[in-house]
Amino acid sequence: MTENSKLNPWLKLALDIGPLLLFVTVLVRFDIYAATATFMIAISVALLVSFVMTRRLPMMSVVSAVIVMVFGGLTLLLHDDTFFKMKPTIIYTLFGSVLLAGLFYDKPLLEVVLDSSFHLTEEGWRKLTLRWAVFFLSLAVLNEIIWRTQTDKFWGYSKLAVFALTFVFAALQYPLLMKHAVEPSKKE
């Protein structure tokens, strides 16, 4: 019983982007502290709904939620938005670094994360993992540049742009997926 077999793709998309949309909406109307509290609540509800629907929690979502709670809590407790603005940098750096470490130890971890969504050669998994690692690390650098040089609202809107950019990046991986695709029984 995997998440993919139980969760409607539109519901999954809503659970992924819903908290972000709420965050940006509240940020534009109020301030980063109200938006942070809203995001913390929304991501908790999204995880709960995901768990109720699938009886499991995706590892990346759990890691993201924990980081949101820690850095959101620090932001609200200390009334310092730096913590929450650094959260994406930390998440992207963590994901990118873990993927690179897996490659260093000859374990393309993206294969584990994506479960059996794709069947690729070992070379395909290595290339795909490296691309995603570089993408995540690039997003970390981009977040640092934006939050340090732009307004809170611009930074909030940039989170929506990053979400869209991630979909575009994923779509651009299609040729690699086709080039290195194998039948499940013929996997290297």
User: For the residues 15-39, what does the mean pLDDT come to?
Assistant: 94
Three-class secondary structure of residue 182 per DSSP: coil
Beta bridge pairs of residue 181: 120
Tell me the pLDDT band of 31, cut-offs 50, 70 and 90.
very high
Rounded to whole angstroms, the Cα distance separating 165 from 33 reads 26
Single pTM value for the model: 0.81
Three-class secondary structure of residue 35 per DSSP: helix
Residues 32-41: pLDDT tens digits? 999 999 999 9
Least confident of 31-45, 116-130, 162-176: 116-130
Residues 60-80: pLDDT tens digits? 788 889 999 999 999 999 999
Instruction: Quote the distance between the C-alpha of residue 148 and its chain's center.
Output: 21
